[in-house]
């Protein structure tokens, strides 16, 4: 995981180092009967960095002094700082009068950058109405031959444009399976997440194979009136005693979940029971696979609406048991923090700070220990706790798009007689191609059949000349570019298209009454 650090986590690490090196007061210190310029004590570093982190938007006021000390220990191991004798990595940073200094070389890490989205056209194309069936991924099957577009077939396919509408019938589409519904929700949810995050690609952020369409559908529809996920398998739910303890704290002092007598410090024991369960989880509630997705959301927290929508979409990707536990935990944390009747749960920390510090690493974490894991988790969990009532709602825009797509698949179609051709047949295989190749194929795939159609009309000897001119005129109106490429001049047109037959105009010969009567004569002359 370390070689796949996200842009946001990497930037936060380097930014923190720059601020710390640029602002940390340096002065002369005496130790062992000698002085050291440009140095600082461990306690001075903890004091300064703690204030710096609490005022920084990436971390916030929830950062504790102990977390600051842990970060300085990471700084020492990463050679961001060194002790006054130049040692680092093996020594442990202490919050005391021991002297430290900054090394001469740059401690900043270089990370691969990911360009932000600039053009909406770079987004992946949403699935079309006829894409809901999954095609077999077999490239060893020969592609099907395309049908030859003859003049008669062209008449049938363009009957409306010609003005001669053929007989039609209603065709109802196939029933959509549960698997296909999950596939559609997965495709459109991932595409929506990419747009919200503003990324050009989700490479290195989310592996689509780790996204389960069934989980998304379950998280959307299998919920109670409060919007909390209902599990089909009760064995996947939290133990009853954990749920009872959480309800006890969330509804304090009006909870009826416990029948045990309340004694001084009872509420602290209840909290410890809940904390023991979540701290023993094998994986954080946001899962290891989605770690980088949620770290990317950290950069959006200043824009509350955008960050909330990003969390709404991301939480849909969670397995239903994780989503249920996370929602109940955040609700407990929020209610306990705002409950004035709940006794203090810690002598040194406020209930709000205690909740965040106690459960943040149970919510967000990576497989391998990251540089700023604990601080980033604290920031994200604080935001999620404050907005827990909205981040578990399904984004209305995403839901309407999917529902509209599904309803279109279920609508009936009008099919005209003669339209059952190989043009509607699905390909034998599909293969992902580049955008440039796709555009080229669109042009070629459109022009070539039309050119063949035009040549077919020209070469059709059974079609009467009058009908042929009519069809060619309609073709010129519908596809002027193809027509002009075939007939760039009037001479080229006259060479292959028969001219209209000349019309005969009658010419009458008048006779004089003075002359003997002669039979009426009529001659014909041609008029162009």
CATH number of residue 89's parent domain = 1.10.10.10
What is the token pair recorded at 67? 């977390």
- At CB < 8 A and 24+ separation, what contacts does 65-72 make? 65/95, 67/357, 67/374, 67/375, 67/378, 69/93, 69/95, 70/374, 71/16, 71/372, 71/375, 72/42, 72/45, 72/46
From 399, 428, 458, give the residue that closes a domain.
Answer: 399
pLDDT in tens, 208-217: 999 999 999 9
Q: Of residues 56 and 337, which shows the higher confidence score? A: 337
What are the tokens at 384? 């999620």
pLDDT of 186 above 60? yes
Q: Is residue 456 part of a domain?
A: yes
Q: Mean pLDDT across the chain, nearest whole number?
A: 77
263 and 354 in a common domain: yes
The top-scoring range by mean pLDDT among 370-379, 422-431, 492-501 is 370-379
Confidence of residue 440 (pLDDT cuts 50, 70, 90): low
Q: Do 192 and 282 belong to one domain?
A: yes
Highest mean pLDDT of the ranges 97-101, 228-232, 257-261? 228-232
Q: Residue 506 belongs to what H/E stretch?
A: strand 503-508
Q: What's the domain count of the chain?
A: 3
CA angle 362, 366, 371 (to 5 degrees): 105
Q: Which domain, by its residues, includes 371?
A: 179-399
Q: Is the pLDDT of residue 23 over 80?
A: yes
Domain contains 126: no
138 is a domain residue: no
The band of 103, judged by pLDDT with boundaries at 50, 70 and 90, is confident
Listed residues 78, 101, 124: the one ending a domain: 101
User: Considering the chain, what percentage of its residues have pLDDT values greater than 70?
Assistant: 69
Say whether both 367 and 256 belong to one domain: yes
Measured over all CA atoms, what is the biggest interatomic distance in the chain, rounded to whole angstroms? 157
Average pLDDT over residues 166-182: 72
pLDDT at 50 over 50: yes
Residue-wise pLDDT for 232-286, tens only, equals 998 999 999 999 999 999 998 886 555 566 788 899 999 999 999 999 999 999 9
132 has pLDDT over 90: no
250 and 345 both lie in a single domain: yes
Can you give the CATH number for the domain in which 343 is found? Answer: 1.10.555.10
Q: How confident is the model at residue 506 (pLDDT cuts 50, 70, 90)?
A: low
pLDDT tens digits, one per residue of 280-313: 999 999 999 999 999 999 889 889 999 999 999 9
| Alpha carbon distance 329, 355 (integer Å) | 10
Confidence of residue 514 (pLDDT cuts 50, 70, 90): very low
Q: Could you tell me which of 3, 36, 15 has the C-alpha nearest to residue 80?
A: 15
Judge whether 412 lies within some domain: no
Distance of CA 459 to the CA centre of its chain: 51
Q: Are both 235 and 374 inside the same structural domain?
A: yes
Residue 520: per-residue pLDDT = 47
Tens-digit pLDDT profile for residues 58-94: 777 878 888 888 888 888 888 888 887 777 766 788 8
Q: Which of 62-71, 364-373, 475-484 has the lowest mean pLDDT?
A: 364-373
Residue 188's pLDDT band (boundaries 50, 70, 90)? very high
The pLDDT of residue 472 is 84
Higher-confidence position of 344 and 495: 344
482, 354: one domain? no
Residue 415 pLDDT: 57
User: Between 193 and 528, where is the model more confident?
Assistant: 193
Average pLDDT over residues 489-509: 65
The answer to whether residues 341 and 242 belong to one domain is yes
Task: Check residues 130 and 335 and name the one with the higher pLDDT.
Answer: 335
Q: For the residues 430-453, what does the mean pLDDT come to?
A: 62
What's the distance, CA 95 to chain centroid?
44
Residues 339 and 486 in one domain: no
Question: What is the model's pLDDT at position 469?
Answer: 83
Is the pTM for the entire model greater than 0.95? no
Residue 22 has pLDDT above 90, yes or no: no
Tokens of 232: 């089909």
351 & 463 share domain: no
Question: 270: which residues sit within 8 A by CB, 6+ positions away?
Answer: 245, 248, 249, 258
Q: Are residues 461 and 380 in the same domain?
A: no
Return the closest-CA partner of residue 237 out of 249, 250, 225, 224. Answer: 224
CB atoms within 10 A of CB 410: 11
Q: How confident is residue 526, by pLDDT bands cut at 50, 70 and 90? A: very low
427 domain-assigned: no
Is the pLDDT reported for residue 57 higher than 90?
Answer: no
Closest CA to 181 of 138, 141, 231, 216: 216
In a domain, 421, yes or no: no
Q: In the prediction, which pLDDT does 385 show?
A: 95
Confirm whether 63 is domain-assigned.
yes
Residue 290 lies in a domain: yes
> Do 194 and 266 belong to one domain?
yes
Residue 378 sits in the same domain as residue 479: no
**How large is the average pLDDT for residues 497-522?**
53
């Amino acid at each position: 995981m370390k070689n796949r650090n996200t842009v946001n986590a990497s930037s936060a690490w380097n930014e923190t180092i720059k601020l710390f090196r640029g602002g940390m007061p340096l002065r002369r210190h005496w130790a062992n009967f000698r002085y050291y310029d440009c140095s600082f004590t461990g306690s001075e570093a903890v004091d300064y960095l703690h204030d710096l982190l609490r005022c920084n938007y990436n971390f916030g006021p929830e950062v504790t002094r102990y977390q600051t000390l842990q970060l300085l220990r990471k700084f020492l191991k990463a050679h961001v700082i060194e002790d006054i004798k130049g040692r680092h990595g093996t020594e442990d940073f202490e919050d005391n009068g021991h002297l430290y200094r900054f090394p001469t070389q740059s401690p900043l890490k270089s990370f691969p950058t990911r360009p932000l989205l600039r053009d909406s056209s770079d987004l992946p194309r949403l699935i079309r109405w006829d894409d809901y069936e999954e095609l077999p991924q077999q490239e060893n099957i020969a592609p099907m031959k395309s049908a030859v577009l003859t003049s008669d077939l062209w008449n049938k396919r363009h009957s409306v444009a010609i003005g001669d509408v053929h007989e039609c019938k209603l065709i109802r589409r196939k029933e959509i399976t549960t698997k296909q519904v999950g596939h559609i929700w997965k495709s459109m949810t991932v595409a929506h997440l990419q747009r919200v995050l503003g990324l050009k690609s989700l490479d290195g952020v989310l592996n689509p194979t780790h996204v389960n369409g069934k989980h998304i559908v379950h998280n959307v529809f299998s919920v109670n009136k409060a919007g909390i996920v209902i599990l089909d398998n009760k064995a996947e739910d939290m133990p009853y005693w954990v749920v009872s303890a959480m309800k006890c704290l969330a509804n304090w002092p009006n909870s009826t979940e416990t029948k045990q007598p309340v004694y001084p410090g009872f509420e602290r024991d209840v909290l410890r029971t809940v904390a023991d369960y979540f701290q023993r989880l094998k994986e954080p509630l946001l899962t290891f696979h989605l770690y980088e997705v949620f770290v990317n959301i950290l950069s959006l927290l200043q824009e509350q609406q955008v960050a909330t929508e990003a969390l709404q979409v991301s939480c849909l990707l969670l397995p239903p048991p994780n989503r249920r536990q996370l929602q109940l935990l955040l609700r407990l944390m929020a209610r306990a923090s705002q409950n004035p009747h709940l006794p203090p749960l810690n002598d040194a920390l406020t209930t709000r700070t205690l909740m965040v510090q106690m459960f943040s690493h149970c919510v967000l974490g990576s497989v391998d220990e990251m540089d700023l894991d604990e601080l980033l988790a604290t920031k994200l969990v604080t935001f999620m706790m404050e907005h827990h009532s909205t981040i578990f709602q399904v984004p209305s825009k995403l839901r309407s798009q999917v529902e509209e797509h599904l309803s279109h698949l279920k609508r009936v179609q009008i099919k005209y007689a003669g339209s059952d051709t190989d043009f509607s047949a699905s390909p034998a295989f599909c293969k992902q191609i580049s955008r440039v190749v796709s555009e080229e194929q669109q042009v070629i795939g459109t022009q070539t059949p039309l050119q063949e159609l035009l040549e077919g009309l020209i070469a059709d000897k059974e079609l009467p000349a009058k009908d042929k001119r009519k069809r060619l005129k309609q073709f010129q109106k519908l596809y002027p570019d193809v027509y002009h490429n075939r007939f760039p001049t009037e001479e080229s047109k006259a060479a292959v298209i028969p001219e209209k037959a000349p019309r005969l105009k009658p010419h009458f010969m008048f006779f004089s009454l003075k002359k003997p009567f002669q039979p009426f004569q009529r001659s014909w002359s041609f008029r162009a």
